[in-house]
Structures are given as C-alpha cells and as structure tokens.
C-alpha cells in the first residue's frame, strides 16, 4: 500500500488536550518498559548483597557466631525479597529517586513483617535475638538509600561511557508528545534520546506551540524521510490520536523498509479510563481500558486486606476505652440503640450494613436525607461525634468483617447512589474497590454534606483518582493525613 502523505494533513483541528505535566505518570511508567540489563543485575546484586552483609555483621556483633537457625533465617529472607522487592517495584527503573527510596524502604519493611508473621506461625521467633534483628533491620534500612544513590550514579556513568544514545523522533506536537519527550530524555535508564519533533497535523497545532517544545521542531510529516536520514534516527514515536488509526497504519507501511522502529503512542487521554494498561496474550497486544485494582493487582490487594485487618484490630484494642465511653454516653443522653445500621453499596455493588455510633434522635424517614447544618435530628452529643468522626469508629468492625477497607471511596446511602448515578458520569465506578472509612476525597476536604452536584462531582473525581493510582503506599499516606483532615468546621 502506498501512503499519500497529503492524507495525513486532512485532520480536524478539534483535538482535545492530552497530558498535563505530572499527570498520567503511572501510564508513562508503563510505556517506559523495564529494560533487563547489566544495570538491573547490578541493582539486584547490591540489594541482596546489602541484606547478607548486614545480616552477617549483626550476627557477629550480637553473638560472634552464625548458627544453623540464623542461616535458615537468611535463606528465607532472600527468598522473600525475591518475591516482595519485584512486587513493590524496586526494580522498575524509575527516573525519580524519591519514588525509588519509598519503594525500597517499603519493600524492606514488608519483608521484616513477613518474617515476623512466619516466626509467629512457626513458633520459632523466640530462637532469635531481638537485638540482632533490630540491628539488622536498621542497618539495611539506613544503608539502602545511599546504596541506591550509588546505583543511580553508576547507571548515569555507565550510560554516558558505554552506551550510545538511540536517536529517536516524535511525530506530533500535542501535550502527550511533549510529555513523553521530557520523560524519555530525563530517564537515563533508557537508551532513547529524542532529538526532535515532527508536525504530524500539517500546521494545525495551536499557534506558538513551537516555543513550548522541549526539543527542536525538525519539520513536517511530508519531509519525514529526509528528517530521519539527516538525524540518523533509529526509532520513531507516533503520537497521533486514536481516531487516526488508518493514518498511523499508512505511516507504518511507508517507513517499514526504512530500518527504523515505529512505536504508536496511543492517545486515549480524553477517554474515561480506569487502570488502563497494555498486555499480551498469545502474542496479541491487549489495551485494557477499564479494570478494577482488585483484578489488576490481586497480590497487592490481598496484602491491603491483611493490612486492613491487622491495623483495625490494633485500633480497636487501643480505642476500646473510647468506644466504651461513647457507647455509655449515647445510651445515657438519648433513647434508642447505640449503633446505627444502614444499607450501603459495597464492592461490585453488593449490599452490606454500615455501622456507626448513633448521632441522631430515633426517627423514621422514607428516604435517607443528608444531615444539614443545624439539623434538628442530630443530638448534642451526636454533633460532637460527627464533627470529630468518632461516630465512624464502629466501621472498624466492618473492616474486620471484610465489607469495608480502611481506605477507599466512602460508601453513600442507596438513595444517594440512585440519585447521583443519573447525574454524574462514571459515578458507580467507585464500587470497583471496597469502600473505606477514609479516602483521598476526605483528606482533601470533601467531607460532610454535598449541597450541589458540583461538590459531589469533586468527591467522585478524587475517588476515581484514588482507584486509578492505587498503591499500598498511597493507603499509608492517606491514613497518616486523615487525623489532620478531621479539623474542619464544615462537618455537621
């Protein structure tokens, strides 16, 4: 098939904005595939070497000897790190050093927790010195960060000295193309070097876009072969909208005998997506547009649920005096049950009863009505319980029951779901993960009454952002920020 370059210029100018700076980082990281290399092997060797050396040092400091039990402990630890470190992304070669510090630290903490659980289950924890384990834990935790810095420095030097940059080109001038250009050129784990951009829309981009480009504009699509020859390009990224698939196919055939790699950067940022990714089955590429984190990250979701139950149990033990005093206060100050139960939608839309401390006088309403400022149904004690969120503490039992999580989208009343699902697009997507006691919306001030559709839309946007970018670390950060979010005068 012979391509008609002029056809590539007959494109409607109405193309929506794509990626903003800093947005869709998760998608970009998926596009920048993890390269198996000597650098990766060196990174793994340093990680495991540090664990072994710190273990030996701690053992000799503690007992001047390494017994068979300690050798078994070291073996189990190495096996665990082989599983946990890759799962938590320690070997994903990110250009962001702070991200990697968080990953490697979390991976080591999870490894130690797993060892403690194994020791408890096998009744062998008393055979090891607590002092030695603590020394070992802190030695690895402390030295992992400078070791990671050394690894980054070595990677940069290795790339500069021993690898030749792979000259690459991007066709398209949109925000996606510019974003990808910056990310590729800033990531020294990748051999690609974007040397320039090509106008793929025949001058139909916004005025002055050339002044915002991270690399030079080398020309238009009609001159693509000359541009490739002049710059010795080996790889071409095509950043054109999905609706131009036939044009991309034609361009691929046009360049197929030109000894360059052609990669299509799928532009689907104006679609409503959830946990989108690219996979492969039997050699067939699959573009996943809408997936729940539960199906995408089964292992990590299982860890999340275990984490939920452990933390909930600890909180219930610590807060048991407060729970008992609150229950007595509710019973003494107003007639009615201590616990209020209401049906809510949970994971996958299944129904469950949410538990709260009763904060209102006993009443019968045909419909669930949101509490408003000065609501006569709220008791004096209930106003304090709601403002401080103490009324939500019985939901720790929901977490132990498995119907809720510590962190997730807040479950709304069934009537509210029926009302808003017809007015807000993708509203029910929030049920693709377990509802939570707190969430990203709550720590960003979206709590209490939603008087307008816009306020509920804002809450839903935070919920969708949480689902799209879920990680165990994001749960930890939300839990740590939750106490500060409780200081609000707008909760009633």
Shared-domain flag, residues 181 and 204: yes
- CATH number for the domain including 207? 3.40.50.720
Shared-domain flag, residues 314 and 370: yes
Shared-domain flag, residues 117 and 175: no
Shared-domain flag, residues 141 and 180: no
Q: Is residue 317 part of a domain?
A: yes
Shared-domain flag, residues 316 and 452: yes
Shared-domain flag, residues 197 and 327: no
Q: Is residue 9 part of a domain?
A: no
Q: Is residue 57 part of a domain?
A: yes
Q: Given 124, 144, 161, which residue is the final one in a domain?
A: 161
SS3 of the chain:
CCCCHHHHHCCCCCCCCCCCCCCCHHHHHHHCCCCCCHHHHHHHHHHHHHHHHHHHHHHHHHHCCCCHHHHHHHHHHHHHHHHHHHHCCCCCCCCCHHHHHHHHHHHHHHHHHHHHHHHHHHCCHHHCCHHHHHHHHHHHHHHHHHHHHHHHHHHHHHHHHHCCCEEEEEECCCHHHHHHHHHHHHCCCCCEEEEEEEECCCCCCCCCHHHHCCCCEEEEHHHHHHHHHHHCCCEEEECCEHHHHHHHHHHHHHHCCCCCEEEECCECCCCCCECCEEEEECCEEEEECECCHHHHCHHHHHHHHHHHHHHHHHHHHHHHHHHHHHHHHHHHHCCCCCEEEEEEECHHHCEEEEEEECCECCCCCCCCCCCCCCCCCECHHHHHHHHHCHHHCCHHHHHHHCCCEEECCCCCEHHHHHHHCCCCCCHHHHHHCCCEEECHHHHCCCCCCCCCHHHHHHHHHHHHHHHHCCCHHHHHHHHHHHHHHCCCCCCC
Measured CA to CA, the distance from residue 251 to residue 254 in angstroms comes to: 5
Question: Residue 402 has which token pair?
Answer: 């498995």
Note the pTM of the prediction, 2 decimals.
Answer: 0.57
Please list the pLDDT of the chain residue by residue as tens digits (492 residues): 333 434 333 333 333 333 333 334 343 333 333 334 566 677 778 888 888 898 888 887 777 667 788 888 888 998 888 888 888 877 776 656 777 888 888 889 999 898 888 888 888 878 888 888 888 888 888 888 888 888 777 777 776 776 778 899 999 888 888 888 988 888 766 778 899 999 887 766 555 666 678 899 998 888 898 999 999 999 999 988 777 888 888 888 888 888 888 998 876 666 666 777 777 777 777 777 777 777 777 778 888 999 999 999 999 999 999 999 999 999 999 888 999 998 999 988 899 999 999 988 876 554 555 665 656 788 888 888 888 889 999 999 999 999 999 999 999 888 888 888 888 888 888 888 899 999 999 898 887 677 788 888 899 999 988 988 888 888 999 999 988 877 655 554
Q: Is residue 281 part of a domain?
A: no
Q: Is residue 8 part of a domain?
A: no
Q: Could you tell me if 60 and 209 are in contact, meaning their C-beta atoms sit under 8 angstroms apart?
A: no
Shared-domain flag, residues 150 and 209: no
Other residues' Cβ atoms within 10 Å of the Cβ of residue 403: 21
Other residues' Cβ atoms within 10 Å of the Cβ of residue 216: 11
Structural domain boundaries, residue 204 = 164-271
Q: Is residue 19 part of a domain?
A: no
The predicted structure's pLDDT at residue 269: 61
Angle between helices 97-122 and 130-162 (to 10 degrees): 150
Q: Which of 115, 137, 116 is nearest to 50 (CA)?
A: 137
Q: Given 161, 195, 227, which residue is the final one in a domain?
A: 161
Q: Given 103, 127, 161, which residue is the final one in a domain?
A: 161
Shared-domain flag, residues 346 and 413: yes
Shared-domain flag, residues 91 and 149: yes
Shared-domain flag, residues 145 and 173: no
Shared-domain flag, residues 358 and 442: yes
Shared-domain flag, residues 155 and 168: no
Q: Is residue 326 part of a domain?
A: yes
Beta strands (DSSP E) in 104-182 are: 166-171
Number of domains in the chain: 3
Measured CA to CA, the distance from residue 83 to residue 85 in angstroms comes to: 6
Other residues' Cβ atoms within 10 Å of the Cβ of residue 93: 22
Cα 296 to the center of its chain, rounded Å: 12
Q: Is residue 2 part of a domain?
A: no
């Amino acid at each position: 098939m012979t391509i008609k370059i002029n056809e590539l210029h007959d494109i409607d100018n109405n193309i929506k904005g794509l990626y903003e700076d800093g947005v869709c980082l998760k998608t970009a990281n998926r596009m920048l595939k993890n390269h198996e290399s000597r650098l990766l092997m060196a990174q793994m060797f340093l990680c495991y070497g540090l664990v072994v050396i710190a273990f030996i040092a701690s053992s000799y400091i503690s007992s001047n000897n390494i017994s068979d039990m300690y050798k078994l402990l070291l073996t189990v630890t190495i096996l665990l790190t082989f599983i946990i470190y890759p799962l938590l992304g320690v070997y994903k070669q990110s250009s962001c050093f702070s991200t990697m510090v968080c990953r490697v630290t979390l991976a080591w903490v999870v490894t130690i927790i797993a060892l403690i659980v194994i020791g408890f289950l096998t009744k062998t924890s008393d055979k090891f010195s607590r002092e030695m384990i603590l020394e070992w834990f802190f030695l690895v935790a402390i030295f992992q960060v400078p070791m990671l810095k050394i690894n980054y420095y070595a990677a940069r030097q290795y790339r500069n000295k021993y690898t030749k940059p792979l000259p690459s080109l991007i066709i398209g001038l949109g925000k996606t193309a510019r974003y990808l250009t910056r990310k590729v050129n800033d990531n020294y784990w990748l051999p690609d070097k974007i040397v320039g951009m090509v106008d793929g829309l025949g001058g139909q981009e916004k005025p002055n876009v050339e002044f915002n480009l991270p690399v030079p504009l080398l020309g238009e699509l009609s001159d693509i072969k000359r541009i490739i020859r002049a710059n010795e390009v080996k790889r071409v990224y095509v950043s054109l909208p999905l609706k131009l698939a036939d044009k991309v196919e034609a361009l691929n055939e046009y360049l197929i005998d030109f000894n360059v790699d052609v990669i299509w950067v799928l532009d689907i940022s104006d679609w409503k997506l959830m946990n989108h990714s690219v996979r492969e089955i039997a050699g067939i590429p699959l573009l996943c547009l809408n997936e729940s984190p539960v199906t995408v990250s089964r292992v990590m979701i299982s860890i999340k649920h275990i984490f939920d139950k452990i933390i909930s149990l600890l909180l219930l033990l610590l807060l048991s005096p407060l729970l008992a005093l609150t229950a007595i206060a509710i019973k003494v100050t107003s007639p009615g049950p201590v616990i209020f139960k209401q049906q809510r939608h949970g994971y996958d839309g299944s129904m469950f009863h949410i538990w709260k401390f009763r904060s209102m006088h006993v009443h019968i309403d045909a419909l669930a009505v949101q509490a408003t400022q000065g609501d006569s149904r709220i008791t004096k004690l209930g106003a304090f319980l709601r403002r401080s969120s103490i009324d939500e503490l019985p939901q720790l039992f929901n977490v132990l029951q498995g119907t809720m999580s510590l962190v997730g989208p807040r479950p709304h009343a069934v009537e509210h779901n029926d009302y808003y699902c017809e007015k807000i697009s993708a509203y029910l997507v929030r049920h693709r993960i377990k509802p939570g006691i707190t969430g990203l919306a709550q720590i960003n001030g979206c709590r209490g009454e939603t008087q307008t559709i816009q306020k509920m839309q804002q809450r839903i946007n935070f919920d969708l952002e949480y689902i799209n970018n879920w990680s165990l670390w994001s749960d930890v950060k939300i839990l740590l920020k939750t106490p500060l979010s409780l200081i609000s005068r707008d909760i009633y």
